[in-house]
Amino acid sequence: MTLTINGKTREITGEASLQNAVAQLCKDPNLVVTELNGQIIDRARWAATPIAANDTLELVTFMGGGSPKPDPFILADKEFKSRFLLGTGKFKNKADVKESILASGAEIVTVALRRIDLEQHEDNILQYLPNNVTLLTNTSGARTADEAVRLAHLAKASGQGHWIKVEVINDSKYLLPDNEATITATKILAAEGFVVLPYVSADLYVARRLVEAGAAAIMPLGSFIGSNQGLRARDFIKVLIEEIDIPVIVDAGIGAPSHACEAMELGASAVLVNTAVAIADNPAAMAKAFAQAVEAGRTAYLSGLPAKRPMGEASSPLTGFLFE
């Protein structure tokens, strides 16, 4: 039997009663209100109320006000559910890497290229990565734009895709990125069809030039790489978020889930974490905590965080009881 139910054509089988129709369509009929052909039918009358082909039935229930807004994370025309990116360096063993990815639900994972140790072969990290992750090859170790481009070409030749995190560092003390070399490498690789995510200091003018060069996202450092100091560059990252139209993914220095949450509350599109997860006593549990913090921060940002106030303001009236 064909009915119009909540605006859509649906088939109902079996007994031609309202009670049977509700039972087939609703998980918990006790919470359902029915309207048949414009008339509200009390629950006590469902069993005795017949239905016929082409009837119009409305089924409603209670829920929180409004509808959830879709919030996809889209990067280079690819949609991701998770806004938590995970690096694979510094882990004590490769099994921890896989467990951390699975526990956190990370869908984008960074890897690096290194020369093979001919004296002592190690397992390939790719053997431990879930099949559904997107590999983001990191050009770590590159000291010039040419070296970064070379590493990107080697990564593509390996058949592991064309997503590249451009990282050019020739400063061995502070490990700060070379912004100029990064811009040069980004321009070359983007023109060749790579999806380029450049790692840079949080500088608005550099970010604008990277957008012009074809970057898919900007990855500003939160603080010194591997330092776990959190968002020391908070105010500058906020400027990028407000002024740059492509995703801003906070990278480096994120040492605690609260740091990741703070970055997301600012409006960052995503967060990349490596050291804080890799050196934790329980990497998988820490990765999960970071993923949850990223989700909480994103929800807070979308909900509209209240502005800070210079003074206290009572949440309940202070008059009418003890004071007048």
Instruction: State pLDDT tens for residues 295-304.
Output: 999 999 998 8
CATH homologous superfamily for 73-303? Aldolase class I (3.20.20.70)
pLDDT at 196: 95
| 2-60 CATH fold | Ubiquitin-like (UB roll) (3.10.20)
pLDDT at 60: 87
The reply to whether 165 belongs to the active site is yes
User: Which are the contacts of 199, defined by CB distance < 8 A and separation ≥ 6?
Assistant: 165, 166, 167, 177, 182, 219, 221, 251, 252
Whether residue 136 is predicted with pLDDT greater than 60 in this model: the reply is yes
CB 131 within 8 A of CB 144: no
CB 109 within 8 A of CB 134: yes
Catalytic residue chosen out of the listed positions 165, 173, 187, 308: 165
Each domain of the chain, given as residue ranges in start order, spans 2-60, 73-303
Mean pLDDT of 169-174: 87
Burial of 129 (0-12, 13-18, 19+ CB in 10 A): middle
pLDDT at 90: 83
**Distance of alpha carbon 58 from the chain centroid:** 37
Identity of the residue numbered 229: Q
Tell me how far apart the alpha carbons of residues 79 and 81 are, in angstroms, rounded to a whole number.
7
Mean pLDDT of 279-285: 93
pLDDT at 317: 58
Q: At what angle do helices 257-266 and 283-303 cross, to 10 degrees?
A: 20
Whether residue 88 is predicted with pLDDT greater than 60 in this model: the reply is yes
Mean pLDDT over each residue of the chain, to the nearest integer: 87
Q: What pLDDT, in 10s, does the model give residues 229-259?
A: 888 999 999 999 999 999 999 998 899 999 9
Q: How confident is the model at residue 11 (pLDDT cuts 50, 70, 90)?
A: confident
Q: Which two tokens stand for residue 114?
A: 């290194």
User: Which are the contacts of 256, defined by CB distance < 8 A and separation ≥ 6?
Assistant: 228, 230, 276
Q: How confident is the model at residue 63 (pLDDT cuts 50, 70, 90)?
A: low
Q: What pLDDT, in 10s, does the model give residues 94-132?
A: 889 888 999 998 999 988 876 554 455 566 677 778 888
Whether residue 42 is predicted with pLDDT greater than 70 in this model: the reply is yes
Sign of CA dihedral 138, 141, 142, 147: negative
CB 196 within 8 A of CB 214: yes
Q: Which of 69, 60, 3 is nearest to 32 (CA)?
A: 60
DSSP state letters, 64-121: -SS-PPP--EEETTEEES--EEEE-TT-SSHHHHHHHHHHHT--EEEEE-----SSS-
Whether residue 188 is predicted with pLDDT greater than 90 in this model: the reply is yes
Q: Which of 108, 69, 104, 78 is nearest to 301 (CA)?
A: 69
Q: Which of 267, 248, 256, 246 is nearest to 293 (CA)?
A: 256
Q: Three-class SS of residue 293?
A: helix
Q: Which range (21-35, 44-58, 258-272, 290-304) has the least confidence?
A: 21-35
pLDDT at 212: 95
Q: Which range (62-66, 91-95, 178-182, 223-227) has the least confidence?
A: 62-66
